[in-house]
Structure 1
Amino acid sequence: MHVSHLSLHDFRSYADVDVALEAGVTAFVGSNGQGKTNLVEAIDYLSRLSSHRVATDAPLIRAGTEQAVVRAAVVRDGRTAILEVELNPGRANRARVNRSPLSRARDLAGIVRTVVFSPEDLALVKGDPSQRRRFLDDLLVLRTPRYAGVISDYERVLRQRNALLKSLYAARGSAREAALATLSVWDDQLIGTGTELLLARQQLSADLAPYLAKAYEAVARGANRDDARVEYSASVPDPSLVEEVAQQPSRDHRSVLADADPSLVEEVAQQPSRDHRSVLAEAFRAEVARRQNDEIQRGVTLVGPHRDELVLTLGPGDEQRLPVKGYASHGESWSFALALRLASYDLLRADGDDPILILDDVFAELDAERREQLASLVAGAEQVLVTAAVADDVPEVLRGITFHVAGGEVTRA
């Protein structure tokens, strides 16, 4: 898969720009602030319908204009498709494939796949859990585009439920009873969409783990394949623990279920043939019920995928294993961040696609050894797009076609 042509209208700093691209390595070189990152950001936006640099679409619209258009010709298995998205802040975005409109812009997500390496990647290991949840969700949508709808639905339910919880705190009498009945409806939707998202994230984390171990070994000095691990930690009690208690009823319910409703254990014991999804949903429901008073007091949903964590650890064995955040050195943190991106790339390739690799100003952040290691690992990709302020920062193996970016002009060298 590769992009053969990129066209932007009122996107970021560009009023209009057209760039013909090829498979292989392409480098965009220019001083900071000249717009080189805007080009690769546009391609990544087509992949995920969000930016790796900002949280909303508004900054993507050129100052003084009301909408932007990103259009690209994408070649896959010898066939070319024209993908287009129209960004309309405050209104619904619109998308087209081969000039035919899609019913929802989110249906464009995942048609072109990108993996972006950028200076912001350090936040994957040093930032708050939301950074790691977003990393998982972006990768989830690239692998299985329908999850864009699941994530969107979950976020909508969460907003509505939080608004209701805030109103419940002050509600009294019949108004409170009515609000509690409505809350039950939102509970059902939260559990339904949340269970689906939780299961998908758990499976993705398990699938990613061996690729992460291999990638970390490749980029970290002296590392071996057992050093780096990734595990999904859910705010919902693990159903496997529920089943374990059911098999060992003498164990303390409170310690194993993290204060979830012990009656759940008895239910599982009576229905041992139930599938993982239904058991997880019941564990979710029990935890929501247990935390209801706390949620009303605080006016926020305390259980669900939005409270989960992707746990990143380093160490040669379980006894010596420590969280990357707070314990890893700067170099180890960078190696782990690079390994997460490389693992994403390898996982997508294993699914049957060769994603477009975007290396956005990342070489300026790395020492010479890590530059060469990363370059050697990605040079064989079908398309690699590199941005750099200084051409000498780009390793020799990635010096393919070069464009100079300055003053809104993109010129092939």
Structure 2
Amino acid sequence: MYVRHLSVGDFRSWETVEVPLQPGVNVLLGRNGVGKTNLVEAVGYLATLASHRVSSDQALIRRGAAQALVRAAVVSGGRELLLEVEITTGKTNRARINRSPVTRPRDILGALRTVLFAPEDLSLVRGDPSERRRFLDEVLVMRAPRLAGVRSDYDRILKQRNTLLKSAGIARRSGRAPELSTLDVWDEHLAEVGAELICERLALVDALRPHVVAGYAELAPESEPIDLVYRSRVLEPLDPDGAAPTTAVEPADPEVRGSDGGFDTRNGADNRTENREAVKGAMLGHLATRRSAELERGVSLVGPHRDELELRLADGLAKGYASHGESWSFALALRLGSFALLRSDGVDPVLVLDDVFAELDAGRRDQLAELVADAEQVLITAAVETDVPKVLGGNRLLIQNGTVTTDG
């Protein structure tokens, strides 16, 4: 898979620009602030419908414009698709495939796969759990686009349930009997969709773990070993007092196996269906136990929105323990692992290395370059060409004065 041509209009700093790309390595060279990252951000947006830099689409629209357009010709398996997304202020975004509108923007997900390395990736190791949940969900959707709908459904149900919790909590504190029958219905919905999301994440972590461990060992062979552990309150024993456990514990359900605290996902979809029912029942039990605390606080305290992907270095958490170099290597290993996993599905995703080499020492630069050199397409941004290892030859694009030109 590769992007043959990228067009953007009123996206970030670009009023309009056409960018010809090639299979193999493409290096976008230019001083800081000339818009290199904006271009690879546009590619990533077509793949994920999200930015790796900001949470709001509004920031993607050029100042003074009402709408931004991102368009790319994507070649995969000998077939070319034209993907387009219009980002509009105050309106629902619109998307097209081969000039034909799709019902929802998320219907284009899966047509382009990308794996992006960026300085912001340090937050995967050092940031909040939400950063790691987002990472897992992005890879999930890349592998199975239908899960974008599951994630959207979960967010909608969670929002509705939180609204009901707040209103019921207010009623209870004011001496009125809260209406809880509706809340019971939303508990069922939350547990149904939440269980599916948890089981898909568990299966993903099981599949991702060996690739991430191997990538880290290649990037930092002198370092201690790493591991990935998915932690969820839903998989923990019920606490009759409704208090949060002070430490992560192994699930009590006999169907749960393994030191990672995950359900057995080795037998594929059939086993995951059984797991979903077990997880749903466990989640309903935890929701009932935590009901009083949820009414008091007005928020849902149980579910995949509260889960954590633990990144472990030796016997402890990488967060707060790993050195700067180890943190970088772990973040890169997560991306390399997701690339290897996506590649194992039969299609190479487009690799994007956004100003990464400037952040690495010479040894890690060379090691990373060797690991990604055989990708079908690599997009690299750099302010200084010498930061890019020589093994990564290929197409050079010069970005200056609001233009993109091919070097030589």
Question: 1:293 corresponds to which residue?
Answer: 292
CA distance in structure 2 between the aligned counterparts of 1:119 and 1:107, rounded to whole angstroms = 29
Question: 1:242 corresponds to which residue?
Answer: 252
Question: How much has 1:168 moved relative to structure 2?
Answer: 1.7
State which of 360, 364, 373 in structure 2 corresponds to 1:370.
364
Question: 2:11 corresponds to which residue?
Answer: 11
Question: 1:222 corresponds to which residue?
Answer: 222
Counting aligned pairs with the same residue, the percent is 55
Question: How much has 1:285 moved relative to structure 2?
Answer: 0.1
Q: Deviations over 1:116-144 (max 9, x none)?
A: 00000111001110000000000000000
Question: 1:76 corresponds to which residue?
Answer: 76
Aligned partners of 2:13 and 2:35 also within 8 Å: yes
Aligned partners of 1:206 and 1:231 also within 8 Å: no
Question: 2:25 corresponds to which residue?
Answer: 25
Question: How much has 1:289 moved relative to structure 2?
Answer: 0.5
| Structure 2 unpaired stretches of 5+ | 238-249, 262-272
SS at match of 1:286: helix
For 1:89-168, what aligned pairs fall within 5 Å after superposition?
89-168=89-168
SS at match of 1:161: helix
SS at match of 1:62: coil
CA distance in structure 2 between the aligned counterparts of 1:238 and 1:298, rounded to whole angstroms = 22
Question: How much has 1:56 moved relative to structure 2?
Answer: 1.1
Aligned partners of 2:5 and 2:72 also within 8 Å: yes
Q: Deviations over 1:47-67 (max 9, x none)?
A: 000011111101100000111
* TM, length-normalised to structure 1: 0.89
Question: How much has 1:309 moved relative to structure 2?
Answer: 0.2
CA distance in structure 1 between the aligned counterparts of 2:274 and 2:352, rounded to whole angstroms = 40
CA distance in structure 1 between the aligned counterparts of 2:254 and 2:94, rounded to whole angstroms = 49
Question: 1:252 corresponds to which residue?
Answer: none
CA distance in structure 2 between the aligned counterparts of 1:359 and 1:141, rounded to whole angstroms = 21
| Structure 1 unpaired stretches of 5+ | 247-256, 258-273, 316-320
Structure 1 pair 176/402, CA: closer, same or farther in 2 (3 Å)? farther
Question: 1:309 corresponds to which residue?
Answer: 308
Number of residue-to-residue matches in the alignment: 380
Structure 1 segments, 4+ long, off by >4 Å, are 172-178
Question: 1:269 corresponds to which residue?
Answer: none
Question: How much has 1:242 moved relative to structure 2?
Answer: 3.4
CA distance in structure 2 between the aligned counterparts of 1:4 and 1:276, rounded to whole angstroms = 42
Q: Is 1:341 the equivalent of 2:340?
A: no
Q: Deviations over 1:91-135 (max 9, x none)?
A: 211111111111110111121000000000111001110000000
State which of 365, 369, 379 in structure 2 corresponds to 1:385.
379
Aligned partners of 1:11 and 1:70 also within 8 Å: yes
Structure 1 pair 401/171, CA: closer, same or farther in 2 (3 Å)? same
Aligned partners of 2:28 and 2:381 also within 8 Å: yes
Structure 2 letter corresponding to 1:228: I
Question: How much has 1:172 moved relative to structure 2?
Answer: 4.7
Structure 2 letter corresponding to 1:206: D
Question: How much has 1:399 moved relative to structure 2?
Answer: 3.0
Q: Is 1:192 the equivalent of 2:202?
A: no
**Which deviates more, 184-193 or 74-83?**
184-193
Question: How much has 1:178 moved relative to structure 2?
Answer: 6.0
Question: How much has 1:238 moved relative to structure 2?
Answer: 4.8
Question: How much has 1:31 moved relative to structure 2?
Answer: 1.0
CA distance in structure 2 between the aligned counterparts of 1:123 and 1:100, rounded to whole angstroms = 38
Structure 1 letter corresponding to 2:252: V
Aligned partners of 1:154 and 1:190 also within 8 Å: yes
Structure 1 pair 245/3, CA: closer, same or farther in 2 (3 Å)? closer
Aligned partners of 1:29 and 1:387 also within 8 Å: yes
Structure 2 letter corresponding to 1:201: R
More helix by share: 1
Question: How much has 1:231 moved relative to structure 2?
Answer: 1.2
SS at match of 2:212: helix
CA distance in structure 2 between the aligned counterparts of 1:67 and 1:132, rounded to whole angstroms = 31
SS at match of 1:236: helix
Question: 1:254 corresponds to which residue?
Answer: none
State which of 350, 354, 358 in structure 2 corresponds to 1:360.
354
* TM, length-normalised to structure 2: 0.90
For 1:45-60, what aligned pairs fall within 5 Å after superposition?
45-60=45-60
Question: How much has 1:278 moved relative to structure 2?
Answer: 1.2
Q: Deviations over 1:166-213 (max 9, x none)?
A: 222211599965631221121111111111111100100111011111
CA distance in structure 1 between the aligned counterparts of 2:380 and 2:393, rounded to whole angstroms = 9
Aligned partners of 2:171 and 2:178 also within 8 Å: no
Question: 2:282 corresponds to which residue?
Answer: 283
Question: 2:266 corresponds to which residue?
Answer: none
Aligned partners of 1:168 and 1:176 also within 8 Å: no
For 1:255-270, what aligned pairs fall within 5 Å after superposition?
none
